[in-house]
A and B are shown apart, each in its own frame.
Chain A
Amino acid sequence: MKKKMRVLWLSAIACNGNTHSFLNYPYMEQFLDDFEFIYHPVIDSEYSLEDIVSKEIACDILLIEGAISKEFKRADVSVVEIIEKYSKIVKKIVTVGTCATFGGIFRESGYEETSGLHFDQEEPLKTHQDLLDKTISVSGCPVHPEVLVNTLYAIKKSVALKLDNFLRPKEFYAYTVHNGCTRNEYFEYKVDNHRFGELEGCMFYDHGCQAPFTHGSCNKILWNEVNSKTRAGLPCMGCTEPAFPRQNLFSTKKNMAIPENLPVGVGKRVYLTLAGISKAFKIDRLEKKLFDD
């Protein structure tokens, strides 16, 4: 029998959303042929959580889900202690989801110094610097199952993934969520009359869509293999980014009618010039219903 990679899935301050997102991975049978969990929140494992915290079980990859605070305990042991113990013996550490990477929603849950493993939102932390070389971040609330699983395969195959400043694989996070959105034309030509409940329109102008300045592959690899939030008509909430969750998520923050956050790398002056020109198009096809009578 071939040797499987041994994975420890450790939850800190979490909702288990990443756990259940992972269960949506379509080729689970193949995955379970190649990997085994020494502990997982719902999949049966050879060891109990009590074993994990009281002993040192051989392991190749440590997966951390949830925001991290030394005050938060699992089976009566601080998650930081568990992380420190296993990070010494594993080949790689993966922070799964936005909480484990940046702190996320549960950064505010009231535990002492709650953050991601290496970042407190966008701020790099001074702690655990010795682990930086070992860590890969796969942010997202939740993580996309394919992003997680393929990252694990990269580790298994010793592929040197190129990482961004937040240790995220560029393969998945070099794109913006905007790439591949079916509503792109409304954005390109500045058709700004989006209303909820319609196939038409772009949520960037009024409804808070963060897709043009959020890194992720949501519209490239799609969710549940069928759709994405923005395609469905829900603004991107920027859930892969350090600042998630921002405030007033359903409305676009503007200064003098210009969205405060512009697409990645786009300057305000150029944006204004371009928007002015684009608006001049007045494309009939995009002003009407998509399925016109």
Chain B
Amino acid sequence: MIKLIEKIEGEAKLNFNFKEGRIDFVDIEFMSTRNIENILRGKNAFDALVINPRVCGICGHAHLIATVQALESCYSNLKLSNKAKIIRELTLNFELIQNHFKWFYLTMLPLFGHKQEILKATYPSQLMGKAIAIFGGQYPHTSYAVVGGVVCEITQMDIVKLEHYISQTSKFVEENLVKTDSEIFLTCKDADALLDYEGDLPDILREIKKEGFLEHGKSYDRFISFGENSYFKKGKSLKAKVTHNISVLHVKESEMPSSFAKNVSFKDKYYEVGPLARAMVNKTPLIADAHKKYGDSIFSRILARVCEISQLLQHSKELIKDLDLSEKSYIEPSIDISKLSSSGYSAVEAARGTLIHKVEIENGMIKNYEIITPTQWNLSGGTKDKQGVSQKAMIGLSDVKTAELVFKSFDVCSVCTTH
């Protein structure tokens, strides 16, 4: 049967094949594309900083950071202040956080039969939007990160505001998501202990257990994460065995016959990306414990995504302490872009996982641009013998409703996929 999966920043068509009452194979189809890569060709390279955030309304900031880093990788002697690096990392953190709130309260809750909690989604995500706007002027769709740094200068008074937005958001987490001190939640190493807490997250985790969903959503137990920064590590995890020596050069995109989306593989294998992948590579104790007990099921996937909210809030507080406001926000590149012919790439961790941008510049103009989005990794649609991560995660389920839950546990983004 064919089902249109809606409200994933667009739609996808899933064609379910059943065998003896269980899902045997799922074909995933995206019905459109917006040809961003074509739009970019022939334009001034810096214009990509304005166009690319418009790939996606919910994770456009990650596209900005990926763009600026891809462009910067084209230069050979570019200087970037530590301050600019920290500011970029902060704003990207804030985008990840707002995304996870929206996903949990708008997408996940209804799948467990609860009412959507619109205000619980918008209140904290608006605070994170304000935090980005202090630096970027607005959210969504700022282009404040430019080659050489960031356009803004910030003051101690801006930092005060910023700290308040972060504290208010932490408070929201403590009063709603997991009702305990953030410190306790962040140092918790036992996934089962979480089930004894009050809060919207423990409620959902308890329901997963009660409904017998603990086996649901398991896939290859194969994770990858390329976007390195002061918090996330680069690496892959195969059945909890982590290695860090991986290269983007082994990432391949290929056309799919039935869909506008392209497949993405690493050394010819499909990998899961996103918060669970990052936590596996980072060996976050709580998530490692969940994974040990419940594998790469929806339990671990949901927990990892929500847990990242608290981790990134905490890490952002630390990052702010490292900011040296006397440093420059922007250091002008020594060579003008119009004299630059080069190529480069970047990999950053967006809300849904590794985002890769590749660019080729000729005299400052874009000759070629390629974008590989996180959802492409997770939703690569393979054949029956070689299935994509989310396809495999749905195999064996007995109904389409549960399959939709598993599918959406990957936090699918249709607009990104159909860039």
Docked-complex contact A249 and B47, CB < 8 angstroms: yes
CB-defined contacts of B142 to chain A, threshold 8 Å: 229, 232, 234
CB-defined contacts of B330 to chain A, threshold 8 Å: 195-198
Docked-complex contact B102 and A23, CB < 8 angstroms: yes
CA distance A60 to B34 in the complex (A): 30
CB-defined contacts of B51 to chain A, threshold 8 Å: 105, 245
CA distance A234 to B330 in the complex (A): 12
Docked-complex contact A229 and B137, CB < 8 angstroms: yes
Docked-complex contact A43 and B139, CB < 8 angstroms: no
CB contact list, B99-155 vs A, under 8 A: 102, 106-107, 110, 115-116, 118-119, 121-122, 125-126, 129-130, 132-144, 146, 148-153, 155
Question: Is A261 positioned at the interface, with any CB of B under 8 Å from its CB?
Answer: no
CB-defined contacts of A193 to chain B, threshold 8 Å: none
Question: Is B246 positioned at the interface, with any CB of A under 8 Å from its CB?
Answer: no
**Nearest chain A residue, comparing its CB with the CB of B127:** A224
CB-defined contacts of B31 to chain A, threshold 8 Å: 73, 76
CA distance A227 to B6 in the complex (A): 34
Question: Is A168 positioned at the interface, with any CB of B under 8 Å from its CB?
Answer: no
Given contacts A72-B32, A197-B330, contact A43 B118 (CB under 8 A): yes
Docked-complex contact B122 and A23, CB < 8 angstroms: yes
Nearest CB of chain B from residue A90's CB, rounded to whole Å: 21
Question: Is B58 positioned at the interface, with any CB of A under 8 Å from its CB?
Answer: yes
CB-defined contacts of A184 to chain B, threshold 8 Å: none
Docked-complex contact B139 and A223, CB < 8 angstroms: yes
CA distance A71 to B290 in the complex (A): 46
Question: Is A164 positioned at the interface, with any CB of B under 8 Å from its CB?
Answer: no
Docked-complex contact B151 and A233, CB < 8 angstroms: yes
Docked-complex contact B57 and A234, CB < 8 angstroms: no
CB-defined contacts of B171 to chain A, threshold 8 Å: none
CA distance A43 to B110 in the complex (A): 11
Docked-complex contact A48 and B328, CB < 8 angstroms: no
Docked-complex contact A233 and B152, CB < 8 angstroms: yes
Given contacts A26-B126, A75-B11, A195-B330, contact A232 B136 (CB under 8 A): yes
Docked-complex contact A226 and B4, CB < 8 angstroms: no
Docked-complex contact A247 and B58, CB < 8 angstroms: no
CB-defined contacts of A229 to chain B, threshold 8 Å: 136-138, 142-144
Question: Is B35 positioned at the interface, with any CB of A under 8 Å from its CB?
Answer: yes
Docked-complex contact A234 and B151, CB < 8 angstroms: yes
Question: Is A19 positioned at the interface, with any CB of B under 8 Å from its CB?
Answer: yes
The stretch from B18-26, B38-46, B279-287 touching chain A is B38-46
CB-defined contacts of B141 to chain A, threshold 8 Å: 17, 21, 141-142, 239
Docked-complex contact B140 and A17, CB < 8 angstroms: yes
Question: Is A92 positioned at the interface, with any CB of B under 8 Å from its CB?
Answer: no
Question: Is B300 positioned at the interface, with any CB of A under 8 Å from its CB?
Answer: no
Docked-complex contact B6 and A234, CB < 8 angstroms: no
Question: Is B358 positioned at the interface, with any CB of A under 8 Å from its CB?
Answer: no
CB-defined contacts of B186 to chain A, threshold 8 Å: none
Docked-complex contact B4 and A247, CB < 8 angstroms: no
Docked-complex contact B151 and A197, CB < 8 angstroms: yes
CA distance A91 to B33 in the complex (A): 32
CB-defined contacts of B84 to chain A, threshold 8 Å: 197
Docked-complex contact A11 and B150, CB < 8 angstroms: no
**Nearest chain B residue, comparing its CB with the CB of A196:** B330
Docked-complex contact A28 and B118, CB < 8 angstroms: yes
Question: Is A44 positioned at the interface, with any CB of B under 8 Å from its CB?
Answer: yes
**Nearest chain A residue, comparing its CB with the CB of B125:** A23
Nearest CB of chain A from residue B82's CB, rounded to whole Å: 13
Interface residue from A16, A76, A141, A232 paired with B135 (Cβ < 8 Å): A232
A sample of 6 more A-B contacts (CB under 8 A), given A50-B6, A227-B137, A234-B136, is: A42-B102, A48-B6, A109-B33, A141-B54, A227-B138, A248-B44
**29 A-B contact pairs sorted by A residue (CB < 8 Å):** A15-B55, A20-B140, A24-B129, A24-B139, A25-B122, A29-B119, A42-B7, A42-B9, A42-B107, A44-B115, A44-B116, A108-B39, A110-B38, A196-B150, A224-B126, A229-B136, A229-B138, A229-B144, A232-B142, A232-B152, A233-B144, A233-B153, A237-B143, A245-B51, A248-B44, A248-B46, A249-B46, A250-B46, A250-B49
5 closest Cβ pairs, A-B complex: A197-B330, A197-B329, A232-B137, A223-B138, A16-B57
